[in-house]
Every structure is written in structure tokens, then in C-alpha cells.
Amino acid sequence: MSVSSQTFSLLKREFLQEQRQKYAFFGVLLFLVSTIFIAKFSFHTIKSIPVWNSLYWVILLFAAVTGAAKSFGAESKGRLLYLYTIADPKAVLLSKMLYNVLLMLVLGFTGMIFYSFLIGFPVQDTPMFLVALFLGSTGLACAFTMISAIASKAGNNFTLMAILGFPVVLPLLLAAIKVSKYAADGLGWAVSMDYMLVLGMMNLVIIALAYLLFPYLWRD
Amino acid sequence: MKRNWWKFLCAAFLFFTLIFGLKTPVAPGILLNCNSIIPAYSAPFKLEILGYNTRFLQQKNSFRAWLINWDKNKPVHICANSFSVKDDTHAELSFQPVSVLDSMFFDLAVYNDADGKLYMDHAIYSTDTIRGGMDPMCNVTIKNEKQDHFAFPFRTVLYESIRNLFFHVPMWFSMIALLSWALWNNLVFLRKFDMKNDQRANTAITTAVTFGVLGLITGSIWARITWLEWWGDDVKLNGTAITMLAYLAYLVLRNAIDDEQKRARVTAIYSIFAYVMMIVLIGVLPRLQGTDSLHPGNGGNPGFNQYDLDNTLRPVFYIAVAGWIMLGFWIYSLKLRIQNIKLHHNSQ
């Protein structure tokens, strides 16, 4: 079986597992919604665009850590070994990454709906903001998938995941915050093109690095 | 002895850097010690100037001062009609009423035979828009524009702290050189799985982190002097801080895994990620438009090369960079040897 067909069957397995257990997605969604409620109770409405923007990205960052930690952390040692014998490591990584990207996109957009419903939506250039949200959540998901794979090799604790993950996703997050702030200010595409490109390039670099390095990490 | 020639070179370079970097005087320069606005309606006015490393009193006979106003790219010189020199660094100039020609800004130039021509861009300006008669023009042809003794350039804001160029900047060069060496060893490790490469990479990273911390400390001191704050709101500064965090996380990760082979593999992969993020944080993000950076060459600022790295700084700077990089690798090789001895000792 080729890597792509393996990836799709493994992705199907992820969804099946999700459907049976239901805790990963709804757990993170609950986390997201309750954080937004806490923000609502403490701020009511946020007038300042930088605060509004960065608060959402911080919430999303923690949701990404919580969500992605499950991708390799939730697998038992035996099941990983079984996967290792039947599948290409690249397919394993790609399926997890794809699943996490979908999870983060759903979380990012539903979270945004809740957030704007409760706290306000002071964005002037909505399409650009959605592009920023798309690129940012994709990057967070890809980076944290790889970090979760690394952390799972080191005893799998959540603290280690945060310590390893934050420095790696910070440049990505900074660029995403910048683009979405420009979008909220309505500064136009020409101004944020540089950051958009950097954001896209960083996504590609993270995916490429993870794709190349994962087979080495996988071996035990 | 033959293998260690570069260590002698390193010591010589650093010795040269310390001596020349700290002992070379900063070139004479002038500052204004009074209000920089010309009084309205162009009344006669006085300017107090403050010299730095100047010899006004010694060279009183050759002392001259004039203002320059640019009239459509053609300089119009307005000489001081009288002056009094108080001491080597203080002088008072008095001017006849001047009229604004094309630019409201006036540059100030002071000359004496010992210091050469000292220039201050946009020293004073006039809010007065009345265009009076012609200003007293004067002949300012001088023999030698600049004295050719070896001195570092006089820059406002920087002053004596310009010497930090030989300490702050090479720390980062050294750190990046060591991290690149670590990256190379990590890549080789993933090809050959030789523990020697892992040991090299780990030692290089711990040494690089030390240099990074030194770079942050020297930078912080420099920032206090020039930007008046220990830790400014600067993308490059925060980017390097995050890079340090990533490599500290690398060290934490190393301690979290017990199995040697597995530890080497996992940390090699993480450090490749950290290196790429460092390139983005230090090399890409600060160079974009619209970032708040006070560093030269970042956030739309002109590069250091363009204005400030003149021919007196350049040779010392290059030697300093070479010296500090070699020192980095020297420390690295010593650490590696100590580790090998410990390893050998434990296995016996």
C-alpha cells in the first residue's frame, strides 16, 4: 500500500476512534468554551483590538496543546508497536497531522464563533482574518503533532510538552497574531503579505521537517 | 603544538580586541549645550557648544565655526561673528541674525587644526518663516577636513559605548557558529548513529547557550545606555530570548530521557527544529516591515554597515569576531575533552 492510501486508512481509524470515545474533541471544545466564558465574565466586551486578538490566540494555543497532546500520548505502547509493524511511519505521522489540523480548524472556527458572539468581533477585514486563523491553526496543529511525538518518547508528561512546544510555535504564533491584528485593523492585503508569506512558509517548513525526521524518531 | 596554532591566534586576536577596542579613543565631536531653536524674527543669538575629546583651547588660533543652511542642495555658510572659548570642551558662538533659505534646519560645523572639521547634522532649526536679506556668507575653505589619527567615530547616543560592538555582536556570531556545528553533528548522527556526534552536538549547544546568555547581558547593558531601558520592546531581543528558551528546553529534554541512544535521537530531532525556529526568529521576523526594532538592519532600520561601521571599526570588528568564534570552539573542545575523560573514568 502506498503512503497516501495508508494515510487515509489511518485517518479513518482516527475518526472511528474519535466517534467511539468522543472525549478528545468534546473535551477540548469544552476547554475552549469554558475559557471563553471566563474571558467573558472578566472582560464583558473588549474594545482594544490587540487585547481581543492576542487573548483569542492564547486561548487557541492552550487548546492546541491540550488537543495535540492526545495524538501520540493517548496511544498505548502496544498499539504504537502494532502500527509500526503494519504501516509506514510517514503515513502514521501524516494521518495524525491531518487529523490534528482538521481538529484545530474546527476548534479554531467554532471557538471564534463563540468568542465573537460573547465578546465581540471588531474585525474589519473578515476574509483576511479567516485566512490568518486558517494558517495559524494549521501551523499550531502541525507543530504540536510533532512535539507530541517527541514528548511521547520522553515519558509523555504534559509539562514537557509545553516546555518543548512553546518556543517552537512562538514564531508562528507571533506572525499569526500580527496578520490577524492587521486584518482586524483593516490595513489591507499589501501590508500583511510579508507576514502571510512567512506564516505559510513556516507551515511548510514544519511539515517538511516533521515528514523527514519522524521516521528517525519513530524507531525504538 | 602544531595542532594548536589556532589557540594562539585566538588569544592574540582577543588580546588585540581588548587593547584596541578599549584603548582607541573616540574621535572628537560636538554637541549643542543650549536650546536648538533659533529665536523668532532672527534676532542675534548665541550657541553654547560642548566638545567631546576636543582641544578648543589648545587650538584657539585656528578655531572657526559656521552654520550651514541648504539652499536647493547648495550649501550657504554663515560664519559666527565672534566666539569665546572657555576651555577645551566648552565654547560659545554668537551669530548675526540669519534668514531661513530653503531648509529650516541648520547644520553646525566647527574647525580647528588639531581636531579637524567637526560636523553636527541639523544642529538647530528656526520656526521663523520670514525670509530676510542675504545672510553673511563666508569663506570656509580649510586645509585638512579630517585629522587622520586612528579613532572610533563619534556617534550621538552611542558615544563610548560604540566599543560594545566588539563584544555584543561577536557573541551572537559565536553562538550561531556553535549552533550550526551542533546542527551539522545532529544531522550526521541521524545518518550514522555514532554517539560521538551526539556528544559533540550537546557540548556545542551548552557552550552556545553560554554565549547567548553573554550576548543578552552585553546587549542589556548596551540597551540601558542607548535606549534607557534594560529590556526593550524589540523583536530581535525577544526573538533571541525565545531561542534561548528553545535550547534550554533541549537541555530539559535531555534530562528527561534515560536511554542514551534514544535520548540522542530524540534531542537531535528537537534541536533541528529549534535551529530552524532560531533562523526565523533572528533572521526573518525582525527584518520584516512594521516591526518595532531598534537594532540596525531590522524593522526597516538601515543596516549597521551603511553608516556606522567605518574603516576604523571594521578591522577591529572582524578580528574580534574571528577571536570570539575561535574562543567558542576552544571552550567547546575543552568541554568535550573533560567529558571524554569523565566517561573513560566511569567506564574503568
Q: Taking CA atoms, what residue in B is nearest to A169?
A: B277
Gyration radius of chain A over CA positions:
18
Q: What is the pLDDT of residue B298?
A: 64
B150, pLDDT greater than 90? no
Closest CA to A15 of A124, A90, A103, A110: A103
Name the residue facing B269 among A150, A160, A175 (closest C-beta).
Answer: A150
Q: Write the ipTM.
A: 0.89
Over residues B277-332, the pLDDT tens digits come to 999 888 888 877 666 666 776 655 555 554 456 677 888 899 999 999 999 999 99
Higher pLDDT: A172 or A1? It is A172
Q: What is the largest CA-CA distance in chain B?
A: 95
B271, pLDDT greater than 70? yes
Q: Which residues of A make CB contacts under 8 Å with B?
A: 146, 150, 153-155, 157, 160, 163-164, 166-168, 170-171, 174-175, 178, 191, 194-195, 198, 202, 205-206, 209, 213, 216-217, 219-220
Tell me the shortest Cα–Cα distance from A194 to chain B, in angstroms. Answer: 7
Check if B280 contacts A (Cβ < 8 Å). yes
From the centroid of its chain, how far is CA B346?
A: 46
Q: Taking CA atoms, what residue in A is nearest to B287?
A: A194
A45, pLDDT greater than 60? yes
Name which of A61, A80, A211, A217 to mutate to probe chain B: the one with the most chain B Cβ atoms within 10 A of its Cβ.
A217
Check if B187 contacts A (Cβ < 8 Å). no
What mean pLDDT comes out for the span B148-164?
79
Name the residue facing A198 among B246, B265, B288 (closest C-beta).
Answer: B288
- Interchain pair B269, A216: CB under 8 A: yes
Interface size A-B, in CB pairs within 8 Å, comes to 76
- Interchain pair A205, B276: CB under 8 A: yes
Closest CA to B198 of B95, B271, B118: B271
Q: Which residues contact B81 (CB under 8 A, 6 or more apart)?
A: B94, B95, B96, B136
Antiparallel, parallel or unpaired: β B29-32 and B116-126: unpaired
Task: Say which range, A22-36, A157-171, B14-28, B97-111, has the weakest mean pLDDT.
Answer: B97-111
- Quote the mean pLDDT of chain B: 83
Confidence class for position B1, pLDDT limits 50, 70, 90: low
Higher pLDDT: B41 or B190? It is B190
Q: What is the pTM of this model?
A: 0.86
The count of other CB atoms within 10 Å of the CB of residue B179 is 25
The single-letter code of the amino acid at B105 is F
Closest CA to A29 of A64, A58, A76, A77: A64
- Interchain pair A175, B285: CB under 8 A: yes
Over residues B14-51, the pLDDT tens digits come to 999 999 888 888 888 888 887 777 765 557 778 888 88
Name the residue facing A194 among B265, B280, B289 (closest C-beta).
Answer: B289
Angle, helix A189-218 to helix A158-185, in steps of 10 degrees: 160
Check if B273 contacts A (Cβ < 8 Å). yes
Dihedral sign (CA B201, B203, B207, B209): positive
Tell me the shortest Cα–Cα distance from A134 to chain B, in angstroms. Answer: 20
Confidence class for position A26, pLDDT limits 50, 70, 90: confident
Check if B239 contacts A (Cβ < 8 Å). yes
Tell me the shortest Cα–Cα distance from B219 to chain A, in angstroms. Answer: 21
Q: What is the pLDDT of residue B306?
A: 47
Q: Which residues contact A159 (CB under 8 A, 6 or more apart)?
A: none
Gap between the Cα atoms of B285 and A198, Å rounded: 8
Confidence class for position A218, pLDDT limits 50, 70, 90: confident
B147, pLDDT greater than 60? no
* Partners of residue B38 on adjacent β-strands: B126
Tell me the shortest Cα–Cα distance from A20 to chain B, in angstroms. Answer: 32
Confidence class for position B137, pLDDT limits 50, 70, 90: low
Q: What is the pLDDT of residue B299?
A: 57
